[in-house]
């Protein structure tokens, strides 16, 4: 199963935040949308991703002052991405190796969606259930 199948099911809407907005604004937007990460933009460019984890780390390091800091000041600098044609296995490997829970999806240099660890796990469990049903049906048919 490909990342595109997740995007087809979830849609391609990506919620963004400007790099110059505050961490408090990011937290408010995440809460309002019931999401755990935002893609960071600067003009038309995608410059990063900020997650709930990044906000918690910033508060731990800077205290209440973190809420008035800009998103670009607390977001990690490296952004791990994936393509729609990539597999769930590749997504799982990237998430594990880089210890991230969200992957922006780019096609031909353009942001087309975002997938979370929850999306990947859900789709992988569905794959396993389908495989299990096929094996069970084949076993029953053989007996």
pLDDT value, residue 57: 96
Please state the domain extents for the chain: 3-142
Q: What is the pLDDT of residues 51-100, one digit of tens each?
A: 999 999 999 999 999 999 999 999 987 889 999 999 999 999 999 999 99
**Span 100-112, mean pLDDT?**
94
Q: How far apart are CA 66 and CA 59, in angstroms?
A: 5
CA distance readout (Å), 66 to 22, 75, 85, 86:
9, 11, 37, 36
CA distance readout (Å), 99 to 93, 95, 117, 130, 141:
10, 5, 11, 28, 43
Percent of the chain with pLDDT over 90: 75
pLDDT value, residue 12: 76
**Span 130-135, mean pLDDT?**
81
Q: Which CATH class is domain 3-142?
A: alpha beta
Cβ-contact 80, 100 below 8 angstroms: yes
Residue 137 has pLDDT above 90, yes or no: no
pTM of the predicted model as reported, rounded to 2 decimal places: 0.83
Residue 28 has pLDDT above 80, yes or no: yes
């Amino acid at each position: 199963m490909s990342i595109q199948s997740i995007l087809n099911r979830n849609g391609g809407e990506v919620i963004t935040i400007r790099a110059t907005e505050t961490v408090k604004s990011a937290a408010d937007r995440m809460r309002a949308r019931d999401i755990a990460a935002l893609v960071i933009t600067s003009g038309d460019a995608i410059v990063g991703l900020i997650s709930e984890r990044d906000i918690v780390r910033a508060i731990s390091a800077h205290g209440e002052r973190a809420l008035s800091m800009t998103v670009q000041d607390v977001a990690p600098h490296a952004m791990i991405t994936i393509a729609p044609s990539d597999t769930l296995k590749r997504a799982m490997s990237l998430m594990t190796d880089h210890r991230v829970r969200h992957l922006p999806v780019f096609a031909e240099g353009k942001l087309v969606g975002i997938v979370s660890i929850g999306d990947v796990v859900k789709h992988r469990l569905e794959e396993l259930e389908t495989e299990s049903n096929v094996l069970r049906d084949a076993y029953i048919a053989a007996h």
